[in-house]
Amino acid sequence: MSQLSIRKLSTSIVFLLIGIIFITPLLWMLSTSFKFENQVFEQPFTFVHWGHVNFDNYRTILMDTPFLTWFWNSIFVVCFSVILRLILSVFGGYAFGFLKFKYSGAIFFLFLMTLFVPYQLTLLPQFIVYRYIGLLDTRWALIIPNMIDILSIFMMRQFFLSFPRELISAAYMEGCGVFKSFVKIALPLAKTPLVTLGLLSFFMIWDQYYQPLIFLKSKELFTIPIGLQSFQTQFGKAYAQQMALACLAIVPVLAVFLTLQRHFIESVVSSGIKG
Amino acid sequence: MVKSYSLERRERQMGFLFALPSMVGFLVFILLPMLTVLVLSFSKLDLMSGQFSLEGMKYYNKMLNDEDFWRSVRNTVVYLVIYVPLTLTLGLSMAMILNSKMYLRGVVRTFFIIPYITTYVATLVVWNVFLHPTEGPLNSLLMSIGFSHPPQYMVDSHWALPVLAFIGSWKDVGYHCILFLAALQGVSKDFLEASSIDGANRWQRFKHITFPLISPTTFFLLLITIIGGLQAFYQMALLTKGGPAFSTTTLTYYIYRSAFEFYDFSYASAVGVFLFALTLVFILMNWLTQKKWVFYQ
């Protein structure tokens, strides 16, 4: 008995060490963000200098760089993108999965055929079109293409394919129309897949770098990923400040992840198996 | 009877209306751009003057005779050859760790997933300093334990591409870990116990029971990983800019450079069409070989 638990304890310690090694670069980032520039590559390495912890990197990033503007831009783009994507996907999913109409099966098949098109490809003509209609260098250039996502429509369609017909029929009996029965019955029951989809889309869109890289010129429109890159290019040697900035960029997603961890893992599993 | 007929018609009408935004979005943001890329690859468009002319196979001929194009094809394949097996084996090993008897499982699981959810560009900024060839913490450590000439990572044309593939794996493997773990938890304990009573060792149990039972997940992840690997771009754009000496210019980065550095959209489109074709070839190959090793219950 005790031999067994000693073995379990020792393997646990080894596995914990593997976990720590795995995130070493991020732990190093955290440590360095509280150091002075001349301590970044210090020998021997000290994780924290108790006594003189340096908060100036964070102060500089928050006060002297447009970080808060980038942060706001990211929030703006991500929120609008996610909300619009959810609306489009839930309506589309209900139409393709439950209501159905002439050729809906064939049209949806066409949707799926394009699932593997590299996004770098569709962004080329979008760039040309945006140039002509004057959408280049606006936040909407980032938001609009995010509205449509085939995988999201696919997930909602899968959900509504197995949606119980009786529930909607009962609503029809009580005199609800198609739209009203959707809003009153189907939508509330689709809460779980919608939260799943929202969460996954949030992480994905927060990370987007290619789109702002080609669509944006003005610094005041930058989102966090592209802002980080511009800071790195401009202040290549300010390593401690770069680490503080990276920390601040990670904090929001980490906070969302840690509070919703269980739900997030279930989301990934369900989307992965269905997808 | 009459009522249900009209209701069915109403459902179809509303169905069309409900799907309309997605269909318009699909048309405008996916289908038309795809066709435009195809047309662009056969024609020349001057962005300034708006002049347009058909050029036939000119850009494809240029592509096939372009040494840089073939080097980026080679780099893409090398990236895949490292990234795909590394991510799959790492993901499976990490899932097996989490599936074993242990304390602090939740903590270790969180550690394993954190790179996957953190902002990619932020982690790249960290890797850039972490792998600094002379002063970075990793090489300081290597030198202090006796390696006098540690690898130069992103500065060395032999190391750069493998390092980028490794960083890509490190970033993405949390996803694989989650899905493999779910699959492992679905493997029946009865099978494993029965076979261990029959005298099967760990490796035999893995090979004959676990691996076949999780093969649908492995197949799905293999597809996702290949597609993701073909589209890798962030590391090249942020860490190496395709260098040193072209060693990390993959197809995606070559498309980006052609379009947004040289403003040759036609050539970028031709390479893009090639990338899409390559993706389809890989998917098809997987689909055709899956019968041999994927086991559906």
Q: Give strand pairing partners of B52.
A: B45
Q: What is the pLDDT of residue B297?
A: 66
B139 and B11 within one domain: no
Same domain, B7 and B153: no
| pLDDT average, residue stretch A47-51 | 80
Task: Return the exposure string of B241-254: e unless at least 16 CB atoms fall within 10 Å of the residue's CB, then b.
Answer: ebebeebbbbbbbb
- Would B161 be classed as within a structural domain? yes
**A115 and A20 in one domain?**
no
A85 plus A108 within the same structural domain:
yes
Average pLDDT of chain A is 88
pLDDT of A275 reads 41
Nearest neighbour of B125 by CB, restricted to A15, A246, A264: A246
In a domain, B220, yes or no: yes
pLDDT of B53 reads 82
The confidence score (pLDDT) of residue A272 equals 67
Tell me, yes or no, whether A157 and A26 share the same domain.
no
Interchain CB contacts (distance < 8 Å): A and B? 279
State how far residue A57 is from chain B, nearest Cα, in angstroms. Answer: 15
At residue A185, does pLDDT exceed 80?
A: yes
Is B119 within 8 Å of A250 (Cβ atoms)?
Answer: yes
Identify whether residues B235 and B197 lie together within a single domain. Answer: yes
Report whether pLDDT(B55) > 90.
Answer: no
Residues B108 and B228 in one domain: yes
- Same domain for B112 and B33: no
**If contacts are CB pairs under 8 Å, which of residues 168-187 in chain B contact chain A?**
170, 175, 178-179, 182
Which among B19, B126, B170 is the nearest to A92, CB-wise? B19
Average pLDDT over residues A165-181: 88
- Shared domain check, B260 and B206: yes
Reported ipTM: the value is 0.88
Per CB-CB distance under 8 Å, the chain B contacts of A95 are 14-19, 22
Residues of A whose CB is below 8 A from B130: 25, 28
Mark whether B82 and B203 lie in a shared domain.
Answer: yes
A128 and B18 within 8 Å at the Cβ level: the answer is no
**Where does residue A235 rank: exposed (0-12), middle (13-18), buried (19+ CB within 10 A)?**
middle
Question: Are B22 and B83 in a shared domain?
Answer: no
- Provide the chain B residues 185-224 that lie in CB contact (below 8 A) with chain A: 217, 220
What pLDDT does A57 receive? 87
Asked if B125 and A245 come within 8 Å (Cβ–Cβ), the reply is: yes
How many angstroms separate the CA atoms of A236 and A251, rounded?
22
Domain co-membership, B118 together with B149: yes
Mutate to test the interface with A, among B12, B29, B104 (most CBs of A within 10 A): B29
Write out pLDDT tens, residues B185-211: 888 888 888 888 888 888 888 888 888
Chain A residues close to B10, C-beta within 8 Å: 177-178
Which tens digit of pLDDT belongs to each residue from B225-268? 999 999 999 999 999 998 888 999 999 999 999 999 988 889 99
The verdict on a CB contact (< 8 Å) between A265 and B113 is: yes
Asked if B63 and B274 count as a contact pair (C-beta separation under 8 A), the reply is yes
Q: Which residue has the higher pLDDT, B148 or B113?
A: B113
Same domain as B166, residue B217: yes
Q: Which residue of A has its CA nearest to B132?
A: A41
The CATH code of the domain that includes A196 is 1.10.3720.10
Is residue B30 a part of any domain in this protein? yes
Picking from A21, A27, A85, A99 by the largest number of B CB atoms within 10 A of its own CB, the best residue to mutate is A99
Judgement on whether residues B23 and B127 belong to the same structural domain of the protein: no
Report yes or no on B102 lying in a domain. Answer: yes
Q: Per-residue confidence at A1, pLDDT binned at 50, 70, 90?
A: low
More confident residue, B243 or B83: B83
> In terms of domains, do A157 and A102 share one?
yes
| Partner residue facing A41 (CB), from B107, B140, B265 | B140
Q: Which residue of chain B has the CA closest to A32? A: B126
Q: Are A109 and A201 part of one and the same domain? A: yes
Distance CA B185, CA B179 (A): 10
Chain B residue closest in CA terms to A93: B19
Is B23 at the interface with chain A, CB within 8 A? yes
Question: Is A210's CB within 8 Å of B233's CB?
Answer: yes
Q: Are residues A221 and A251 in the same domain?
A: yes
Structurally, chain B folds into a number of domains equal to 2
Indicate which CATH number applies to the domain containing B176.
1.10.3720.10
Mean pLDDT of B38-66: 85
- The helix (run of H) or strand (run of E) holding residue B267 is helix B265-293
Both A83 and A46 in one domain: the answer is no
Average of per-residue pLDDT across A31-46 = 83
User: Which residue segment(s) compose the domain that B177 sits in?
Assistant: 57-292
Do A41 and A66 belong to one domain?
A: no
User: Which of A12, A41, A118 is the closest to B102 by Cβ?
Assistant: A12
Flag whether residue B22 sits within 8 Å of chain A, measured between CB atoms: yes
Strand, coil or helix: what is B45? strand
Q: Cβ of B16 and A95 within 8 Å? A: yes
The domain containing residue A19 runs over which residues? 1-54
**A29 and A72 both lie in a single domain:** no
Give how many domains chain A has, as a whole number: 2
Asked if residues A57 and A241 have their Cβ atoms less than 8 Å apart, the reply is yes
CA distance A217 to chain B (A): 13
For residues A155 and A242, membership in a common domain is answered with yes
Contact B19 A95 (CB under 8 A): yes
* Cross-chain Cβ contact A246/B122 below 8 Å: yes
- Three-class SS of chain A: CHHHHHHHHHHHHHHHHHHHHHCHHHHHHHHHHCCCHHHCCCCCCCCCCCCCCCCHHHHHHHHHCCHHHHHHHHHHHHHHHHHHHHHHHHHHHHHHHHHCCCCHHHHHHHHHHCCCCCHHHHHHHHHHHHHHHCCCCCHHHHHHHHHCCHHHHHHHHHHHHCCCHHHHHHHHHCCCCHHHHHHHHHHHHCHHHHHHHHHHHHHHHHCCCHHHHHHCCCHHHCCHHHHHHHHHHHCCCCHHHHHHHHHHHHHHHHHHHHHCHHHHHHHHHHHHHHC
Q: Taking CA atoms, what residue in A is nearest to B25?
A: A148
Whether A6 and A85 share a structural domain: no
**How far is it, in rounded angstroms, from Cα A79 to Cα B131?**
35
Does residue A167 sit in the same domain as residue A110?
yes
Same domain, B32 and B82: no
